[in-house]
Amino acid sequence: MQNWLLQRAYATPERAALTYKETTYSWYELVEAAKRRARQLTTAHIKQGERVALLAPSTDELVITIYACMLLQCEMVMLNRRLSPKELAYQLDDANVKHCIVARCDQHKITKPVLTLEEVRVLTPSRVLFEEKWQPQNTLSIMYTSGTTGAPKGVRQTYDNHQASAIAAALNVGMAPTDSWLCTMPIFHISGLSILMRAVIYGNEVVLHEKFDAIRVVEAIVQGRVTHMSVVAFTLNQILQQMIEQNIDVPPSFKLMLAGGGAIPEAYLEKANLLGLAVAQTYGMTETASQVATLGAEYALDKVGASGKPLFFNRIRIDGTTNAYEHGEICIQGPTVTPGYIGQFAKLPATVDGWLHTGDIGYLDDEGFLYVVDRRADLIISGGENIYPAEIENVLHAHEAVKEVGVCGIAHAKWGSVPVAYVVAQEEVSEQSLLTYCAQQLAPYKIPTKIYFVDQLPRNGANKLLRRKLGKQ
């Protein structure tokens, strides 16, 4: 395939590409900045095709560095800024990265030698010849996602994966040259990175906010500054509340919000409808380079709870059944599906007979609309962040006072769901002691909000922990 960045700068050099704070880059300016950054990375001894890790806030500097790495055809391991140093160390070791590029504000989270963005910016650029053609099957990005065992897996996303995802999304949503996508999603998430990938292919502008701020988001929408946005239930509700408090109607210039990261409550959809805000629920994952099914905004209230139909090029089936409404594992086939993993899971096949088995339970109705019943069975989605109970359980199991432990999610008014732990202790230990222990090894959002001490945990005949019954104890 053609080098997207060189082709975009050639095709629409004067069109707006990126706005961050008060600075707007045209596509020519943004690609030139990425070229300079790529030459500076070369001066820092980063070679074409090497695997590098990136850890930085969502700013224009990170965007420029991502595009620079693409020009060098480096494999980018996108590190989650919310993880603990121990969790980051595991990913860096598993990925076997050659270089780690971090913002100075995140430098303390990494125990290995790093190259800071601030250091790179002042380096003298080297001469570099950029390839005009890219290999579709090459890895563009790598993101870690936990499996049911709790051990994080490094998921490969190729140039082909990202391109197929971008084209399928455009065919579904429809994009005009003047459209502008507001990005408040962290770029280290697939939902954030996919916005940058789509922007290059579409030639659209990205208005980038470093963090989500409902007041700033509403201002951008009301001013007609943006036309599209990606949200989770938590952020959507905050936006709706701001609009209601300010008695604001959505202007015609704003076209659509893509809502993922879990089911959207019916009350939110009703509020959005009253305000004239089009919301399209979507289903996707790291292994599919973002969305694979999206519910059209026109079905938002008629198909409440549905994630829509598969986007173009993709197929979805329910394993073991062809009957409508019958529950089973959601399986996905299409060009957006990852070719595989890296590190300790490199030999684990991503698909079986061409189908990705998601581990999510769902069903198709009689019109082919997908409904997700459980996301990866016991997955906890808190404020749009995925939390796997096994990760927390593995940490608590290592404590000498803990004999058994089970973790599940409970409903929370603000975050949607939060983790709680049920512990069978083998010696005297306090709740605070265990929470402090967790805080030393887990990201803050993964720390249980409550620890209950119980005599036994619910198990089946094979002694497998039944997490769904934990909340009833």
Q: 220 and 344, same structural domain? A: yes
Q: Residue 159 falls within a domain, yes or no? A: no
Q: 105 and 81, same structural domain? A: yes
Banded model confidence at residue 102, pLDDT cuts 50, 70, 90: very high
Boundary of a domain, candidates 325, 350, 374: 374
Q: Residue 302 falls within a domain, yes or no? A: yes
Share of the chain above pLDDT 70, in %: 96
Boundary of a domain, candidates 75, 100, 134: 134
Which runs of E-coded beta strand occur in 64-147? 75-78, 99-102, 115-116, 139-146
The model's pLDDT over 261-297, given as tens digits with 9 standing for 90+, comes to 766 777 788 889 889 999 999 999 999 999 999 998 7
pLDDT of residue 29 exceeding 80: yes
Q: Are 63 and 18 in contact (CB under 8 A)?
A: yes
Q: 274 and 367, same structural domain? A: yes
Q: Which of 80, 103, 102 is nearest to 91 (CA)?
A: 80
CA distance 89 to 459: 33
Banded model confidence at residue 146, pLDDT cuts 50, 70, 90: low
Q: 202 and 130, same structural domain? A: no
Q: 292 and 257, same structural domain? A: yes
Q: Which two tokens stand for residue 33?
A: 């900045």
Q: Residue 139 falls within a domain, yes or no? A: no
422, containing H or E segment: strand 416-425
pLDDT of residue 234 exceeding 90: no
Q: Are 396 and 438 in contact (CB under 8 A)?
A: yes
The residue-averaged pLDDT of 38-65 equals 98
DSSP assignment string, 279-343:
EEEEEEEGGGTEEEEE--GGGTTTTTTEEEEEPTT-EEEETT--STT--EEEEEESTTS---EEG
Q: 352 and 395, same structural domain? A: no
Helices (H), 72-213: 85-95, 117-121, 159-173, 190-202
Boundary of a domain, candidates 111, 134, 157: 134
At 415 the three-state DSSP class reads coil
Half-sphere exposure of 315 (CA within 13 A, CB side): 8
CA distance 264 to 4: 34
pLDDT attached to residue 422: 96
> Which CATH number do you get for residue 441?
3.30.300.30
Lowest mean pLDDT among 49-63, 182-196, 353-367, 392-406: 392-406
pLDDT of residue 149 exceeding 80: no
pLDDT attached to residue 462: 43
Q: Residue 156 falls within a domain, yes or no? A: no
Q: Residue 255 falls within a domain, yes or no? A: yes
CA distance 43 to 119: 11
pLDDT attached to residue 461: 42
The residue range of the domain holding 415 is 386-472
Q: 398 and 369, same structural domain? A: no
Number of domains the chain is built from: 3
> Which CATH number do you get for residue 249?
3.40.50.12780
Q: Are 230 and 191 in contact (CB under 8 A)?
A: yes
Q: 365 and 272, same structural domain? A: yes
The model's pLDDT over 236-271, given as tens digits with 9 standing for 90+, comes to 988 999 999 999 889 999 999 999 876 677 778 888
245, containing H or E segment: helix 233-245
> Which CATH number do you get for residue 53?
3.40.50.980
Tell me which long-range contacts 133-138 makes (C-beta under 8 A, separation of at least 24): 133/1, 133/2, 133/3, 134/1, 134/2, 134/3, 134/4, 134/73, 134/159, 135/1, 135/159, 136/1, 136/160, 136/163, 137/339, 138/73, 138/75
Query: Mean pLDDT, the chain, as a whole number?
Result: 92
Other beta carbons within 10 Å of 186: 20
User: In whole angstroms, what separates CA 104 from the centre of its chain?
Assistant: 23
More confident residue, 327 or 43: 43
Half-sphere exposure of 413 (CA within 13 A, CB side): 0
Q: 395 and 345, same structural domain? A: no
pLDDT attached to residue 224: 95
More confident residue, 86 or 147: 86
User: In whole angstroms, what separates CA 87 from the centre of its chain?
Assistant: 17
The model's pLDDT over 416-472, given as tens digits with 9 standing for 90+, comes to 999 999 999 999 999 999 999 999 999 999 999 999 999 998 875 445 677 878 877
pLDDT of residue 118 exceeding 70: yes
Radius of gyration in angstroms for the set of CA atoms belonging to the chain, rounded to a whole number: 22
More confident residue, 219 or 404: 219
Q: Which two tokens stand for residue 114?
A: 């790093």
CA distance 7 to 450: 53
Tell me which long-range contacts 29-32 makes (C-beta under 8 A, separation of at least 24): 30/63, 30/64, 30/67, 31/5, 31/6, 31/67
